[in-house]
Amino acid sequence: MGRGYTVEESVEKYLTSLSAAAGSCKTGLLIGQCSAQKDFVVLAVKTPHRESEGASDSRRVLGPLDDIDADWVAEHARQVSRMLPGGVNVLGLFLITPPELSKEAQNKLKGLIFAVDKCISKSRLWDLSEDDVTDRVTLHICSKTRKAICKTYDVKDPKCSAKPADWKYLSCISSSWPVLTCSVKVDLQIPVTESSSEKCMKHGLGRWAKQIEAGLCLINGRPASDDSELLSGSKKSTKMSQQALQVQILVTEEDPVQRCSAVVQASSGSVHVRGTVHCRAYIHTNKPRTRHAAQAIKRDVVNTVSNRVEMLLEDLQMNEGGPASEQQDLPRRVFAPLPGSGLTVCDYMFPDETAADVAERLKEMLDWESAEEDIDTSVESPADEGRDDGAAQDVPIESMTEPVKQQKTSQYYAGVAVAAAVALLATATSLLYLNE
């Protein structure tokens, strides 16, 4: 009773061509969507060649399997997962080896799978829910016989053993997957202290992420909290055109701690993140539930903001920071269609970059040539010249309304019917006597 993976035919072609280029071992990522019943793989991407690959020192005799750098594979996986919209994730890894290394391949795959999962979940701001599938798939392909062995590992349990899984190819799996979209306004003010600004940022973003996670989600105007089916009423047909679903997210600002006074902290500065982000998620067509769709889009909201902030801070670190107080544009989200499927992937374009830079990154990370025209940069607006008062405030104070209850009393007019009026009077009088 293992998992069953339904895989795009284009993936088969890709893996075959990779295996044909014989030689040393090759690793790569398998990308798709998991659900309770079925799992879908829509893309395979080989791990890019590491330029500074250590020259094979003759001081150690290592096998080609040991040459595979788990950290490099994991880092690639982390960067690729930033390029995936909501609902689409790195599901596992493939490993192509010559026949003589087939035996050690499984062990290597297991180590890689856990390394990849650890790296991807490091900077995640949301927690896994009970619904989330924690099985990751490994595919070992023998370069000579082209035989593929598919197994899964549960990344929740480091001591687990591999479980067999089904792997079958099908065409046009994702061509009609519905896409959920929304634009989210972000307005966060996070106080930071000099010593732990990163921790403060993470904490501030984490609190916002929890708000989003707990928010009410409307899909095409209907609440998406229960177990109802997302695509009820629509007949399932392979030639069905892709449905676009509009999402709205409503949040409350509840503060469970009962306090008497405001929380005041001394800080050495604050970070203000403001603007609008475009969010997108895909959901499979195998009887999806509204709450899974809601979860996918909410996670995309959180991911896109935290990824961008992370990218900017990484960039600043590399370039020795910048002036202390200033406004910087976070990279803009752009989308590119994934060939042979109904999905898009995304990338983040810094203000000084062009579509050509994006295309280059897509080639490097996802191993495919994309035409510059295909890259959709219109989804988010570019940074504008006119800045309004993002500049320093003297003592920024953040306050939020926490609506606990709002009540309204409405008084009924007794003038509905004459007969009724008399009865009402009688009740009212007796009440009067008894109350005061």
Partner 1 sequence: NSARYSYDAICKSFQALRSRVSSESLVFTLCNSSVLLWPNKGLQSTAEHLTEGTPCRDIQQYREAEDGGSKKSKRKDKRDAGPSVVNLKLLWEVTESGESRALSLCRVAKQQHSARMPLCVDCVFSASGQDSVCSGLVGALCGQLSDMEEVVLKYRKGSSLLLPQPFHFQLPESSGLVTVIYPAGVPDSQLLTVREELHGKYGLPSDRPYFRRANAFHFPDEAYKDGYLRNPHTRLTAPNVEEAKVSVVRGVYSYHHYMQDRVDDNGWGCAYRSLQTICSWFQQQGYTDRAVPTHTEIQQALVDVGDKEPRFVGSRQWIGSIEVQAVLNQLLGVTSKILFVSRGSELASKGRELANHFETVGTPIMIGGGVLAHTILGVAWSESSGDIRFLILDPHYTGGEDLQIITEKGWCGWKGPEFWDQNAYYNLCLPQTPKTI
Residues 240-259 that bind partner 1 (CB under 8 A): 247-253, 255, 259
Q: Residue 225 CB, nearest distance to partner 1 (Å)? A: 9
Half-sphere exposure of 24 (CA within 13 A, CB side): 9
Which residue in 54, 69, 7, 53 sits closest to 33, CA to CA?
A: 7
- 191 binding partner 1? (CB under 8 A): yes
Q: Residue 75 CB, nearest distance to partner 1 (Å)? A: 24
Minimum CB distance to partner 1 smaller for 52 or for 401:
401
Q: Residue 386 CB, nearest distance to partner 1 (Å)? A: 11
- 395 binding partner 1? (CB under 8 A): yes
Minimum CB distance to partner 1 smaller for 58 or for 435:
435
Q: How far apart are CA 207 and CA 204, in angstroms?
A: 5
Q: How far apart are CA 42 and CA 261, in angstroms?
A: 53
Minimum CB distance to partner 1 smaller for 275 or for 337:
275
Among 122, 221, 227, 318, the residue binding partner 1 under the rule CB under 8 A is: 221
Minimum CB distance to partner 1 smaller for 161 or for 276:
276
Among 42, 77, 80, 330, the residue binding partner 1 under the rule CB under 8 A is: 330
Minimum CB distance to partner 1 smaller for 233 or for 323:
323
255, with CB counted inside 10 A (0-12, 13-18, 19+), is exposed
Minimum CB distance to partner 1 smaller for 107 or for 268:
268
Residues 365, 396 contacting (CB under 8 angstroms): no
- 318 binding partner 1? (CB under 8 A): no
Instruction: Kindly state the helix (H) or strand (E) to which residue 206 belongs, with its residue range.
Output: helix 197-213
- 427 binding partner 1? (CB under 8 A): yes
Binders in 331-350 for partner 1, by CB under 8 A: 332
Among 74, 309, 358, 365, the residue binding partner 1 under the rule CB under 8 A is: 309
DSSP state of 243: P
- 436 binding partner 1? (CB under 8 A): yes
Binders in 248-307 for partner 1, by CB under 8 A: 248-253, 255, 259-278, 305
- 74 binding partner 1? (CB under 8 A): no
Q: DSSP strand E in 126-174: where?
A: 135-142, 148-154, 163-164, 166-170
Q: How far apart are CA 134 and CA 277, in angstroms?
A: 29
- Give the Cβ contact number of residue 64 at 10 Å: 14
- 433 binding partner 1? (CB under 8 A): yes
- 223 binding partner 1? (CB under 8 A): yes
Binders in 34-73 for partner 1, by CB under 8 A: none
Q: Residue 400 CB, nearest distance to partner 1 (Å)? A: 6
Helix 355-366 / helix 70-81 crossing angle, nearest 10 deg: 130
Q: Residue 425 CB, nearest distance to partner 1 (Å)? A: 10
- 430 binding partner 1? (CB under 8 A): yes
- 419 binding partner 1? (CB under 8 A): no
Q: Which residues contact 13 (CB under 8 A, 6 or more apart)?
A: none
Among 105, 218, 245, 362, the residue binding partner 1 under the rule CB under 8 A is: 218
**3-state SS, residue 220:** coil
Q: Residue 154 CB, nearest distance to partner 1 (Å)? A: 35
Span from 136-144, 231-239, 319-327, 337-345 in contact with partner 1 (CB under 8 A): 319-327
Binders in 107-136 for partner 1, by CB under 8 A: none
Give whole-number Cα distances, 324 to 45, 196, 249, 289, in Å: 40, 15, 34, 47
Residues 362, 370 contacting (CB under 8 angstroms): yes
Span from 22-30, 134-142, 161-169, 377-385 in contact with partner 1 (CB under 8 A): 377-385
- 431 binding partner 1? (CB under 8 A): yes
Pseudo-torsion of CA 390, 298, 379, 371, nearest 10°? 130
Among 63, 127, 382, 422, the residue binding partner 1 under the rule CB under 8 A is: 382
**Residues in contact with partner 1, total (CB under 8 A)?**
92
Span from 74-82, 103-111, 182-190, 362-370 in contact with partner 1 (CB under 8 A): 182-190
DSSP 286-307: SS-BHHHHHHHHHHHHHHHHHH
Tokens of 70: 């788990």
Binders in 396-415 for partner 1, by CB under 8 A: 396-413
- Residue for token digits 């983040």? 348
Q: Residue 90 CB, nearest distance to partner 1 (Å)? A: 25
Minimum CB distance to partner 1 smaller for 65 or for 379:
379
Terminal-to-terminal C-alpha distance of the chain:
73
Give whole-number Cα distances, 383 to 250, 305, 327, 349, in Å: 26, 16, 11, 11
